[in-house]
Chain A
């Protein structure tokens, strides 16, 4: 057994203290033959500190495309020659999307907009949409609408948004290679305000942007410092027309190593499968990740791409005897 896994068994599994950056790096560098042991340990950590439940979430784009920012992975930037056109979702369709999500047993519904930060029009649309969902659908509403002012944070709290997603996307040292129109620190500032507001913090990122293994470890350590309630883990799905459109997808074993490492860095967080898992991991890898530290999934489609049918994921959870977290457990 590699020394780092022995250390993690005591430190993380028994004492609930996450690995530091050096420890995460050691896990990310484990040779293939030790990957099953790392995943097994990460699974034990998840079961010990989070339990067997899996949190299920659906997401929808309220405002697609036409974003002024230049996140190099994103097909919704208006600065690239992506085929994605700007479109707004109307409130009745938003409510219908929430109903579809609730039917899967999901407890979370996240409303997302491709913006630098919300303007008055978007805040009005969000207010109207959240109220309409709360009136008709039994589901928790989360939001992801970019960088916020303190006033906007306060307004979201007042609307009843219980969790706010704002991904750091990658580590601080690599961020300028991925985004040039705003800084990592600006994102951090929004996260700080969200945390202080009492909303739950959802913050993760994308693996496979060209970062080194060392930078993946740096990212895990920075997320651990933030201590978010939830960490969505995406794997790059290279989008046509974006600067990262020609990149290769993350190799499956590297993705699984990262899942185990991020779980060992953050034993108590909700570690969620997000975009790109279908390409990077396929069906078998998806199962391995759920047995290797993942305890939440986005079901159904993503913002501009499609996911597996929700029933496929729900059947897998049933097969793995992992109960879907009930809404009552989130309140």
Chain B
């Protein structure tokens, strides 16, 4: 459900921090700023107890449904991710 990823993952799978784009994400899926800029240590820590909010591919805010077990996040452009 959370934790760093080791490489890009296909859409529709859980990748944790980095969201749908996995480690290849251009955008932080928690704060929506570029992953290559600034320190995202706090974002990574927070994501242990939060679903993603931004699409890692395009920075769009996603529609996120938290469920008792897991969550589902939908980017209008890049589709659904579940965990």
Contacts and interface: CB of A to CB of B under 8 A. Distances in A.
Contacts of A100: 67-69
B49 A307 contact: yes
A306 B65 contact: no
Contacts of A101: 68
B67 A60 contact: yes
Name B's interface SS. Answer: loop
Contact of A301 (B31, B48, B53, B70): B70
B3 to A, nearest CB: 13
Contact of A83 (B2, B48, B61, B68): B61
Interface string B45-76: 00011110110000001111111111100000
A138 interface: no
A87 B32 contact: no
Contact of A303 (B49, B53, B61, B66): B66
Contacts of A237: 49
Contacts of A30: none
A302 B61 CA distance: 20
B49 A278 contact: yes
A77 interface: no
A61 B66 contact: yes
A84 B65 contact: no
Given A83-B32, A83-B53, A100-B68, A306 B63 contact: no
A59 B2 CA distance: 21
Contact of A93 (B1, B2, B48, B65): B65
Given A305-B49, A306-B1, A306-B49, A85 B62 contact: yes
A299 B69 CA distance: 9
Contact of A97 (B48, B63, B68): B68
A306 B70 CA distance: 8
Given A306-B50, A306-B51, A306-B66, 14 more contacts: A58-B68, A64-B65, A64-B66, A83-B61, A85-B61, A97-B67, A101-B68, A301-B69, A301-B70, A302-B66, A304-B66, A305-B66, A306-B48, A307-B49
10 contacts: A58-B68, A64-B64, A85-B63, A85-B64, A87-B64, A278-B49, A300-B68, A302-B66, A306-B50, A307-B49
